[in-house]
Structure 1
Amino acid sequence: MDLCARDTGDIPEKEKMALKEEEEEEQQQLGGKGGCSPHPGPAAPGGRGRWNRRLEFTLACVGYAVGLGNVWRFPYLCYRSGGGAFLLPYLIMLLLCGIPLLFMEFVIGQYTQFGPVLALAKICPLLKGVGVATVVISFLLCTYYNVIITWALYYFFNSFRWSLPWQSCNNTWNVVENCSDGFSGNATHLRSNSQQFFDYRLLQISSGIDQMGKMRWELFGLLIVSWIIVYFCIFKGVKSTGKVVYFTAIFPYIILIILFSNNVQLPGAMKGIHFFLTPKWGKLLEVQVWVNAAAQVFNSIGIGFGSMISMASYNKFNNNILRDTLIVALTNSATSIFAGFVVFSAIGYMAHQHHMPVEDIATDGPGLVFVVYPEAFVTMPIAPMWATLFFFMLLCLGVDSQFAMVEVMVTSLMDSWGKSLLHIFRRKELVVFGVCFVAFVLGIPNVTQGGIYFFQLMDHYTAVVSLMFLAFFEVIAICWLYGVRRISSNVQEMLGSPPNIFFKACWWFAAPLLVTIILVSSIIQYTPAKYGKTYVYPPWAEVLGWCVSLCSIIWIPLGAVHTLYNGKGTLIERLHSSITPVADVLSVENEDLMLKAKSDMSNSMYSGVVVECVRLSEETRGP
Structure 2
Amino acid sequence: MATPEPGPAGAADHGARGAFSSRTVFILAAIGSAVGLGNIWRFPYVAYENGGGAFVLPYLVALLVAGLPFLLLDYALGHRYRGSAPLSFARAGRRSEPIGWWQVGICFVIAVYYAAVIAWALRYTFFSVDQAWGADPESFFFGSFLQVGDPGVSIDLVPGVAVPLLLVWVTVLAVMALGVEKGIGATAVVFIPLLIIAFLVLVVRSLFLTGAGAGLDALFSPQWGALTDTGVWAAAFGQIFFSLSVGFGIMITYASYVGRRTDMTGSGLVVGLSNCSFELLAGIGVFAALGFMAQANGVGVDQVASDGIGLAFIAFPAIINEAPGGAVIGLLFFGSLVFAGLTSLVSVIEVVISAVRDKFETGRLTATLAVGVPTAVLSLLMFSTTSGIYVLDIVDHFINRFGILLVAVVSMLVLAWALRALPGLAGHLNRTGSVPLGAWWRVMLAFVTPLVLSFILVQELWDAVTEPYEGYPAWMLGVFGWGVCVAVVVAAFVIAMVRWRDGTPLTPVQEGGEF
TM over 0.5: yes
Match of 1:274 among 203, 210, 217: 217
Residue 429 of structure 1 corresponds to 365
Distance 2:240 2:272 in 1: 9
SS in 2 for 1:249: helix
Per-residue CA distance 1:301-331 (angstroms, 9 max, x = gap): 1111101000110011121100110011111
2:460 maps to 1:537: no
Per-residue CA distance 1:587-613 (angstroms, 9 max, x = gap): xxxxxxxxxxxxxxxxxxxxxxxxxxx
Pair member with larger Rg: 1
Residue 165 of structure 1 corresponds to 132
Identity in percent: 28
Shift in Å at residue 148 of structure 1? Answer: 0.5
Residue 101 of structure 1 corresponds to 70
2:43 maps to amino acid:
F
Residue 82 of structure 2 corresponds to 113
Residue 3 of structure 2 corresponds to none
1:19-168 paired onto structure 2 within 5 Å: 44-45=13-14, 47-161=16-130, 164-168=131-135
Distance 2:433 2:224 in 1: 42
Distance 1:40 1:274 in 2: 60
1:547 maps to amino acid:
G
Distance 2:74 2:195 in 1: 26
Per-residue CA distance 1:66-107 (angstroms, 9 max, x = gap): 111011111101111111111111110110000011011001
Distance 1:57 1:390 in 2: 26
Residue 502 of structure 2 corresponds to none
Aligned length: 500
Distance 2:477 2:289 in 1: 36
The 8 Å contact of residues 127 and 473 in structure 1, kept in 2 or not, is answered as no
The 8 Å contact of residues 101 and 493 in structure 2, kept in 1 or not, is answered as no
Match of 2:145 among 172, 180, 202: 202
Match of 2:427 among 448, 466, 489: 489
The 8 Å contact of residues 307 and 408 in structure 1, kept in 2 or not, is answered as yes
1:429 maps to amino acid:
L
Per-residue CA distance 1:193-244 (angstroms, 9 max, x = gap): 011111112101112224x252001211111100011112221221221111
Match of 1:477 among 402, 414, 417: 414
Deviates more, 1:494-503 or 1:84-93: 494-503
2:507 maps to 1:584: yes
Shift in Å at residue 366 of structure 1? Answer: 0.9
Residue 346 of structure 1 corresponds to 289
The 8 Å contact of residues 472 and 519 in structure 1, kept in 2 or not, is answered as no
Distance 2:436 2:142 in 1: 55
1:206 maps to amino acid:
G
SS in 1 for 2:306: coil
Q: 1:195 to 1:218 in 2, by over 3 A?
A: same
Shift in Å at residue 478 of structure 1? Answer: 2.0
Residue 589 of structure 1 corresponds to none
Residue 485 of structure 2 corresponds to 549
1:241-320 paired onto structure 2 within 5 Å: 241-320=184-263
Shift in Å at residue 475 of structure 1? Answer: 0.8
Distance 1:260 1:498 in 2: 36
Residue 445 of structure 2 corresponds to 507
Shift in Å at residue 512 of structure 1? Answer: 2.6
The 8 Å contact of residues 41 and 307 in structure 2, kept in 1 or not, is answered as yes
In structure 1, stretches of 5+ residues that fail to align are 1-21, 23-38, 169-192, 423-427, 567-581, 587-614
Residue 180 of structure 2 corresponds to 238
Residue 166 of structure 2 corresponds to 224
Distance 1:41 1:104 in 2: 23
The 8 Å contact of residues 460 and 529 in structure 1, kept in 2 or not, is answered as no
Distance 1:439 1:530 in 2: 26
Deviates more, 1:520-529 or 1:326-335: 520-529
1:275 maps to amino acid:
A
Q: 1:529 to 1:321 in 2, by over 3 A?
A: farther
2:389 maps to 1:452: yes
Distance 2:495 2:188 in 1: 35
